[in-house]
Chain A
């Protein structure tokens, strides 16, 4: 079969909503796009453990401590599925992690913002997991089979996290004035970074069009961002919190909320490594890998010894 025929066949599958599986032929650019996107997603799960993990030792009561431990564990589990999905594409897990550490691979910029108060843990669940779900629900139908199937499981857990985050903010909003102020402050700091999670405007998004044709992406960045704003306004009202945007209002004609322009300078600065916590996040991951080197070497050496004993 010629390359042109293979490409035609591949696109036909995509157009007919037939999933692409690991052993199927696929264009190299499709493979590379998936490796880039899935590894970015895996790194986001793992780096995302850090801001929340910071609060495990300071959680305000035992039940919240247990819930937060379970949540961060889920995220580590998501990281594991996604690294496995990358391996089905022939990529090496450790190599993609080294790319993260060298700054070559990206992760969700939201995790470069600090978690300063307990309310931030609620806000991360509500807004950050909420925004992630908007992206990820669409990815449950993505064209690459292993990624789509991983997403189904991940989405179930993420929507649980989102409800937990919202519920914990509800407790603060019904609590003392100090607690409510803590919740409002968290919303003020996380609202714009959450909107930035959907990426650049469609006109600026370099990878969007091809990814839409390949059905890796099913909605554009701006469409997803709009859905998120539309869904979140009423949730903020129910909490009695104010979204920090003077221009936020319902547009009858569009059937959507209008909102202010994102500060794109800040967006690009954080993407390029200049956010409040970029350095700390990467340093923590590099340190974990370096400190773990002797542990991994020990496990490998022991496994080899065992294998030799067995074959002897």
Chain B
């Protein structure tokens, strides 16, 4: 039973990385400056790399002989378990950076805690990904501060992105029976402490950026149960295009 819970758990992580990596890949060639084009695709590349390791582990746990590509490309929309935050459209540069910042501020303490997991393969992935995530968080924090404390326009755009995305951030800490089962045997960390750490990071960066946490604390979720936003279907149509149009071929 625990094997099945662990499969679901790893799949959720893999989907977060894959879908956010896919979104960032859309920026390629369109970044606001060449240096930032490189930075965004670099983060995308790290996330796709993480998703490969995670899907490999998930496939092994599932034990049905599937590959990482089978899992990444050949599921129906309601079988993807990523949080709604990562599937949200890129919007302007402020929206992309804030989405990434909220995610990185979660992933850093999450990976730090997961490094201590007794599941050695998962701990190894966490350790490797943590190094990358630290860079991502540094990069996005710096941009949030630059935008918040830059011009009137950049401040307004950053605040608008926060106001829009805030409703999706709570789902990063969503827990259900799968988490409970794995936490009971101390296989994975509780997300409560991670949420505290996340909020500290957000508050510190926003304070320096002169940006505000929205007063409206309305929450959205559904991604972890496979209930997505309208944006997800289009994202998957592009992601899955080749595998659906040319099934069972090697590339």
Contact = CB atoms under 8 A, between A and B. Distances in A.
B173 interface: no
B93 interface: yes
A312 interface: no
Nearest to B51: A62
A23 interface: no
A291 B41 contact: no
Interface string A294-309: 1111110110010000
A63 B251 CA distance: 9
Interface in A168-191: 168, 171-172, 175-176, 178-179
A175 B30 CA distance: 34
A305 B151 CA distance: 10
Nearest to A51: B29
Given A59-B242, A66-B48, A70-B45, A298 B28 contact: no
A156 interface: no
20 contacts: A46-B29, A49-B29, A50-B29, A53-B29, A53-B30, A58-B239, A61-B243, A62-B51, A64-B251, A65-B25, A66-B45, A69-B41, A83-B34, A178-B246, A179-B249, A292-B36, A295-B32, A297-B150, A298-B154, A305-B149
A80 interface: yes
Contacts, number: 137
B137 to A, nearest CB: 18
A46 B33 CA distance: 11
A116 B127 CA distance: 39
B35 interface: yes
A243 interface: no
Interface of B: 18, 22, 25-26, 28-38, 41-42, 44-45, 48-49, 51-52, 55, 68-69, 72-73, 92-93, 145-147, 149-151, 153-154, 157, 238-239, 241-243, 246, 249-251
A76 B30 CA distance: 11
A76 B37 contact: yes
Given A57-B25, A118-B242, A294 B157 contact: yes
Where chain A touches its partner, the secondary structure class is helix
Contact of A73 (B22, B32, B33, B41): B41
Interface in A231-265: none
A267 to B, nearest CB: 25
Contact of B246 (A60, A298, A302, A305): A60
A212 interface: no
Given A62-B55, A291-B92, A298-B146, A175 B250 contact: yes
Contacts of A146: none
Where chain B touches its partner, the secondary structure class is helix
A56 interface: yes
Contact of B48 (A53, A62, A80): A62
A79 to B, nearest CB: 6
Contacts of A58: 238-239, 241-242
A72 B29 contact: yes
Contacts of A60: 242-243, 246, 249, 251
Nearest to A48: B29
A294 B34 contact: no
A287 interface: yes
A299 B30 contact: no
Nearest to B154: A298
A287 B93 CA distance: 13
B250 A171 contact: yes
Contacts of B29: 46, 49-50, 53, 72, 284, 288
A77 interface: yes
A58 B242 CA distance: 7
Contacts of A53: 28-30
